[in-house]
Amino acid sequence: MKNKVTIHDISRALKIDSSTVSRALNNSSRVTEKTKEKILKKAKELGYQRNLLASNLRKNKTNTIGVIVPRISRHFFSSLIAGIEETAYNTDYNIIICQSLELLERETNIVASLAANRVAGVLMSISMETKNYDHLIPLQNGNIPLVFFDRQCNISGHSTVLIDDYQAGFDATEHLIQQGCKSIAHLSGPQSLEIYKNRYKGYKAALEKHGLDVDPKLVISSELMEKDGAESIEQLLEKNKQLDGVFSANDIAAISAIKHLKKKGIEVPKDIAIVGFSNEPISELIEPSLSTIDQPGFEMGKMAANLLLKQINSAVPIENETIILKPNLIKRNSCKYQVSI
């Protein structure tokens, strides 16, 4: 049986005008408690359910925010989404989740779809493929606020939440140095993305601080996918006589590299420490000696959502903010096959 109960039904049943019913249902102060009660009672009796579509159309705003991530199933992003959902739930917003899969074409379609759905705002982490931002125009046209997270975007006019990648790179590398590593390699990502540039800068800075050379043979850039980790570590071993530590700019490549080493049973002169990002609860178990630098995904999600809500709820355009979160180095003991950040 279809639910066709509208405010008019309860208006008719009570001989009260539908506008008053609407007001009562919205808990307006300009309705007597008595009539409010009567209306609410009748509404429940008839099984009334507000049609938010109509309400949103009339008000020309929705209670939905769009979220675009490269890949939902990566733990950093899923915990980030959890953070967004948490604050959205508390403020009566829904979230629409979309994944770009690092593809510009998908990102373009998604943006258009979100704009057509008149979302109240958009939170996004741009794809690796994205080099210019024409596809974001529909949001601009629709006057839809946009907040970036994790991956920085070179266009002005938008708030951003980032992790201090420089610091993360620095901390990770310094940690390896403190464990006695001298010859430390770096698996880096596409230099078109700020996050990888900054992690690399942190790596360099830590080496320099401790008087170690920055050897180009020790740095390999890739897309940091599954296959890249194994390939890169292989190359590194070939090219370098000595290799004490590896700082990986993400977890996927780090894990792949470790798997590769384990599979080949490679014993290198010194322990290898590999550092990438991961806040998997499970990661602790990999090695008792594991050190990690946690990316605060959940926190970041909450902050990004709050930033966006501020924009949504302010009548006038407000100043953009950039929030930089500190990564969290969790040190453990030795440094064999460490997976971290």
Least distance (Å) between residue 298 CB and a second copy: 7
What are the tokens at 225? Answer: 């996918």
- Residue of 232, 235, 221, 238 whose CA lies nearest to 254: 232
First vs last C-alpha separation in the chain: 54
308: Cα within 13 Å, side-chain hemisphere: 31
Residues 9/15/20/25 CA torsion (nearest 10 deg)? -50
Which residues are within 8 A (CB) of 308 and not within 5 positions of it... i.e. 6 or more apart? Answer: 65, 121, 122, 123, 145, 147, 159
320 contributes a contact to DNA by CB under 7 A:
no
Least distance (Å) between residue 175 CB and DNA: 55
Least distance (Å) between residue 67 CB and DNA: 24
112 contributes a contact to a second copy by CB under 8 A:
yes
54 contributes a contact to DNA by CB under 7 A:
yes
57 contributes a contact to DNA by CB under 7 A:
yes
223 in helix, strand or coil?
A: coil
Strand locations in 70-174, DSSP E?
94-99, 121-124, 146-149, 159-163
In sign, the C-alpha dihedral spanning 95, 97, 103, 107 is: negative
Of 78-97, binders to a second copy (CB under 8 A) are 78-79, 81-82, 85, 89, 92, 94-97
Q: Are 325 and 294 in contact (CB under 8 A)?
A: no
Cα 207 to the chain's mean position, in Å? Answer: 29
31 contributes a contact to DNA by CB under 7 A:
yes
Of 3-22, binders to DNA (CB under 7 A) are 4, 6-8, 15-20, 22
222 contributes a contact to DNA by CB under 7 A:
no
Q: How big is the site for DNA, counted in residues (CB under 7 A)? A: 27
Residues 11/16/17/21 CA torsion (nearest 10 deg)? -60
x/- string (CB under 8 A) for a second copy, residues 214-253? Answer: ------------x------------------------xx-
x/- string (CB under 8 A) for a second copy, residues 280-319? Answer: xxxxxxx-x--------xx---------------------
135 contributes a contact to a second copy by CB under 8 A:
no
Choose the contact partner of 190 out of DNA, a second copy, none; CB within 5 to 8 A by kind.
none
Q: Toward a second copy, which CB reaches closer, 39 or 177? A: 39
40 contributes a contact to a second copy by CB under 8 A:
no
For 264-282, give one letter per residue: b (16+ CB within 10 A) or e.
Answer: eeeeeebbbbbbbbbbbee
Least distance (Å) between residue 178 CB and a second copy: 23
Element (H or E) spanning 307, and its range?
helix 297-313
What are the tokens at 105? Answer: 């074409």
Q: Are 335 and 270 in contact (CB under 8 A)?
A: no
Least distance (Å) between residue 140 CB and DNA: 17
Using the rule CB under 7 A, give the single segment among 24-32, 129-137, 142-150, 267-275 that binds DNA: 24-32
C-alpha span between 276 and 294 (Å, rounded)? 9
Sole binder of DNA in the list 1, 27, 30, 92 (CB under 7 A): 30
Residues that bind DNA (CB under 7 A): 4, 6-8, 15-20, 22-23, 25-26, 30-32, 34-35, 50-51, 54-55, 57-60
Residues that bind a second copy (CB under 8 A): 1-3, 47, 49-54, 56-57, 62-64, 71-75, 77-79, 81-82, 85, 89, 92, 94-99, 106, 109, 112-118, 138, 141-143, 226, 251-252, 255, 258-259, 262, 278, 280-286, 288, 297-298, 337, 339
